[in-house]
Chains A and B, each alone.
Chain A
Amino acid sequence: MARLAVAKTYKLYLGGAFPRSESGRTYQVHDTKGSLMANAALASRKDARNAVVAARSGLAKWAGATPYNRGQVLYRVAEMLESRRADVVELIVRSRGVKAAEARAEVDAAVDRIVHYAGWTDKLSAVFGGANAVSGPYFSYSAPEPTGVVAVAASSASPLLPLVGAVLPVLAGGNTAVVVASQADPTVAVTFAEVLATSDVPAGVVNLLTGDQAEIMPWLASHGDVNGLDLTGVPADQRVALERAAADTVKRVYSPRARSGGGEPDVTAAPGTARLRAFLETKTVWHPVGAVSLAGGSAY
């Protein structure tokens, strides 16, 4: 008699733990052949609220980590995803019905994206900040800082790369994230969460919700403790309401235009900096530079 496989329960990823939805709700995910892949958690409004609390509590540590440290942690994410490559390829093949080579290409691209962003963490200040040549006796510099808690609606264009490509720039900048996975791909998303959980990413830095983006995103868009929104995964016709809700607290909204945002991800294109810049604040600091002797002062 064949051995009965042990099926995995796919749960949410909140504050470093993998809880069920507080609502107890799940939804069924089937593969392209119609077989049941998983009962995924159907996250609720309260799960979203808990995720924001977790993301806020994780922010100080992540934003306060040295950029070198953040880079090392993100590189570790790449290492761990590489080690889970076979699992993820299998999930992509099952859920999307694509050939293994195509799935492998997506996973490889995702690993490479993570490495790309791991290398960004300690370059942001050099590229998006610097000393300001102000016309006065002051030392002034501008430096990027994380926006804070960013809610990400992952695109369903494909299971892994859009998720990684949206979350990593948020993390590289020092933000923490509440990610609402593509409804079609919770198994890949939760597997990615497992990668994060085993990669030295501190608790609360990424919080993953599975379920219905249309149900959850409005709560995040209007949440007073969410600082930014990435609406890449939201269909254009649903963005208006979310962007309006975001305006109530002047959230930063990343809403890429349909001409480039809605289609299949181009795994060959190198990402630009738009996603990084979307959730970085520029802080400018001024400090007087005094003459070391009265002779350097304004003689009168």
Chain B
Amino acid sequence: MSPTSTPTGSTDAAALRAAMGLGGTDNAALRTFLDGLPAVDPVGVEARATQLATRSIKKDTKRALIDLAISMVDLTTLEGADTPGKVRNLCRKAVQPDREVAGTPSTAAVCVYPDMVAVAAEAVAGTGVKVASVATAFPAGRSSLEVKLADTRLAVEAGADEVDMVIDRGAFLAGDYATVFEQVVAVKEACGDARLKVILETGELATYDHVRRASWLALLAGGDFIKTSTGKIAPAATLPVTHVMLQAVRDLFDLTGVQRAVKPAGGIRTTKDAIAYLVAVHEVAGPQWLDPHWFRFGASGVVNDLLLQRRTQTQGHYSGPRYVSVD
């Protein structure tokens, strides 16, 4: 999939904040802005998500969306037991997910811990597959800013193209928006040219209103992506939560012309799941988000189901899990 629109996102977060009328970055100003956002009715957003998920995607559209979904995956391994060998296998899978079926696209990125970035960067060098690294004391985020920044620099210096940080949910829930904001700003600065994904950990934010506020907080602090989850907390990504985040990037775009990206992560396991997300991207945010630059899936298992379905679509019969690789 080639991008259908070029990035229009200004990297000047200060200009963006001015455009949005944010009066400052202290708690009072942030509360005025974030707590003044329109509320989210949970039943309404869940009903809309459920209804949209009944879209029946068939034939050419299904084939196209399977390929698009594969190309949007941040193929992820975030285990204490990760080894260089495991990461290299993952990278080969990312570059060429299905060796036996021609034309299968690569995934968007591999996503690893900072200490595995160098291994991954070497493995995917020259393939177009990006290396993303979690950082900032992932997944809890419970450390000092210094440690978080050091973690970020470690990843970037090892060759990470993208950094997936976690916000300080404790500070957010305590109403200390300024601390969260300052940390995102600082990590963004430490990222240099790397794109920053801000993980809200929506399962710990607990309400859609919080998800909306945290989304805007991350966007105004300069996050390139807003991302649902670490994958370590249940619930991880859900369709209605993703709706709320898509609404945030859409509204930001409508108001300022600045486009930002969204990444649901965790809990997306089947092709049906992935297609339901892409329909939501299409109808809630808009077609310009149907691009790996602007939308990602944080997942691992879903790739094999996408490959199975892709084979079914191209070969005309159902395939089985023994025919796709376990990496």
The chain A residues found within 8 Å of chain B, CB to CB, are 137-138, 288-295, 297-300
The answer to whether B43 and A290 have CB atoms under 8 Å apart is yes
The answer to whether A294 and B203 have CB atoms under 8 Å apart is yes
The chain B residues found within 8 Å of chain A, CB to CB, are 41-44, 46, 49-50, 53, 202-203, 205-208, 211, 234-235, 238-241, 267, 273, 276
* Minimal Cβ-Cβ distance residue in B for A288: B43
Tell me, rounded to whole Å, the shortest Cβ–Cβ distance linking A138 to chain B: 7
Tell me, rounded to whole Å, the shortest Cβ–Cβ distance linking A132 to chain B: 16
Tell me, rounded to whole Å, the shortest Cβ–Cβ distance linking B281 to chain A: 14
Contact of B238 among A137, A138, A292, A297 (CB under 8 A): A297
| Set of chain B residues within 8 Å of A290, measured between Cβ atoms | 41-43
The answer to whether A294 and B241 have CB atoms under 8 Å apart is yes
> How many cross-chain pairs have Cβ atoms below 8 Å apart between A and B?
53
The answer to whether A294 and B208 have CB atoms under 8 Å apart is yes
The answer to whether B206 and A294 have CB atoms under 8 Å apart is yes
| Set of chain B residues within 8 Å of A138, measured between Cβ atoms | 43
Q: A293-B206, A294-B207 are in contact. Are A300 and B239 (CB under 8 A)?
A: yes
Q: How long is the Cα–Cα vector from A56 to B211 in the complex, in angstroms?
A: 49
| Set of chain B residues within 8 Å of A288, measured between Cβ atoms | 41-44
| Set of chain B residues within 8 Å of A292, measured between Cβ atoms | 206-207
Q: How long is the Cα–Cα vector from A245 to B43 in the complex, in angstroms?
A: 46
The answer to whether B235 and A294 have CB atoms under 8 Å apart is yes
The answer to whether B43 and A298 have CB atoms under 8 Å apart is no
The answer to whether A298 and B239 have CB atoms under 8 Å apart is yes
* Minimal Cβ-Cβ distance residue in B for A138: B43
Q: How long is the Cα–Cα vector from A289 to B42 in the complex, in angstroms?
A: 8
The answer to whether A295 and B234 have CB atoms under 8 Å apart is yes
* Minimal Cβ-Cβ distance residue in B for A296: B42
| Set of chain B residues within 8 Å of A293, measured between Cβ atoms | 206-207
Q: How long is the Cα–Cα vector from A300 to B229 in the complex, in angstroms?
A: 14
**Most chain A Cβ neighbours within 10 Å, of B49, B50, B207:** B207
The answer to whether A295 and B42 have CB atoms under 8 Å apart is no
| Set of chain B residues within 8 Å of A294, measured between Cβ atoms | 202-203, 205-208, 211, 235, 238, 241
Besides the contacts A288-B44, A291-B42, A294-B203, what 16 more A-B pairs have beta carbons closer than 8 Å?
A: A292-B206, A292-B207, A293-B206, A294-B205, A294-B238, A297-B240, A297-B241, A298-B49, A298-B50, A298-B239, A299-B235, A299-B267, A300-B53, A300-B239, A300-B273, A300-B276
Q: How long is the Cα–Cα vector from A136 to B53 in the complex, in angstroms?
A: 18
Q: How long is the Cα–Cα vector from A68 to B51 in the complex, in angstroms?
A: 45
| Set of chain A residues within 8 Å of B235, measured between Cβ atoms | 294-295, 297, 299
Q: How long is the Cα–Cα vector from A224 to B234 in the complex, in angstroms?
A: 60
